[in-house]
Amino acid sequence: MTAKQILIVEDERPIREMIAFGLRRGGFEVREAHDVKSARASIADRRPDLVLVDWMLPDMSGLELTRALKRDKETQDVPVIMLTARADEQDKVMGLDGGADDYVTKPFAPRELLARINAVLRRSSDGHADEIIEADGLVLDAASHRVTVGENTVQLGPTEYRLLSFFMTHAERVYSRAQLLDRVWGGNVYVEERTVDVHIRRLRKALEAFSYDRFIQTVRGSGYRFSTRME
Ligand code: CA
C-alpha cells in the first residue's frame, strides 16, 4: 500500500514543521501549504487523501477553505480535519457545520492528532460492500458511495454518508450516541458525543430537500433511529 498523502495548511512554520515531522514518522507522505491560495494550488495539482487545515490563515479562514472543498465535486470526498486554537465550543461546532470531518484543538499531543487522522481515514475508506439499500425511494449504493432519490443525488460528506449507511443497514433500531460513536466513528476516544448531534443535523439537512429528514428520528432519552414509519 502506498503512503497516504496529507496536506497541512498552516501559516505558522514551527507548528507546520512539527506536525509534518510527526506525520512523516507516522508513515504519511506530507505536503505543506502556508495559506489558502497555495493549498488550493497544491490540491489542484494532486488530490491529497486528507487535509489538515488551521482555522486562522493569512488570506482566508480555514473554515472558508473547508467550505470551498466540500462544495467542489472534485474534492468533497477528501476528509478535512480543522486545527483550531479556539477552545470555544461554538467555533468547533461551526467548523463541523462548515463541512470538516473532525477538529483538533491546539495545543494537541502528536499521538492524538495521529489517532484522529487514522480514524477519519478509516471512516472514509470503509463500507465498500457492493450493496444497494432502498428505503421508500431513498437509495444508497455502497459500491459507488452515492445516495440518490430518483434522478437526484443527495450531497453528503463522508461522515454523513457513513452515518446514513449505518442507519439504513440497521433500520428501526435505536442507537445511543455512545453506540453510534462506537459503530460509526470506530470508538475513537477523542470524539465527543455531541459530535454525533452535529453530524445528525447535517445528515437531516441534506435529506430535508427530499423530505427524508423525517427518517432520522430522535428518540428522547435514548438516541437516534432510522425509520420510514412516522413517529
Ligand atoms: Ca494559523
Q: 3-56: per-residue pLDDT in tens? A: 899 999 999 999 999 999 999 998 999 999 999 999 999 999 889 999 999 999
How far does residue 11's CA lie from ligand 1's centre (Å)? 5
How far does residue 158's CA lie from ligand 1's centre (Å)? 26
pLDDT at 126: 53
Q: Which residue has the cell 437526484?
A: 152
How far does residue 94's CA lie from ligand 1's centre (Å)? 17
How far does residue 50's CA lie from ligand 1's centre (Å)? 18
How far does residue 12's CA lie from ligand 1's centre (Å)? 6
How far does residue 52's CA lie from ligand 1's centre (Å)? 12
Q: Is the pLDDT of residue 91 over 80?
A: no
Q: Is the pLDDT of residue 201 over 90?
A: yes
pLDDT at 128: 42
Whole-number percent of the chain with pLDDT over 70 = 94
Phi, psi (5° rounding) for residue 121?
-65, -40
Residues with CB under 5 A from ligand 1 (ion): 11, 54, 56
Q: Strand order of the sheet with strand 5-9? A: 29-33, 5-9, 50-54, 80-84, 102-105
The reported pTM is: 0.59
How far does residue 58's CA lie from ligand 1's centre (Å)? 7
Q: Is the pLDDT of residue 187 over 70?
A: no
How far does residue 166's CA lie from ligand 1's centre (Å)? 36
Q: Is the pLDDT of residue 189 over 70?
A: no
How far does residue 110's CA lie from ligand 1's centre (Å)? 17
Q: Which of 149-158, 166-175, 207-216 has the lowest mean pLDDT?
A: 166-175
Q: Are 184 and 160 in contact (CB under 8 A)?
A: no
> Rounded to 5, what percent of the chain is helix, strand, coil?
40, 20, 35
Instruction: Report the relative pairing of strands 146-149 and 138-141 from DSSP bridges.
Output: antiparallel
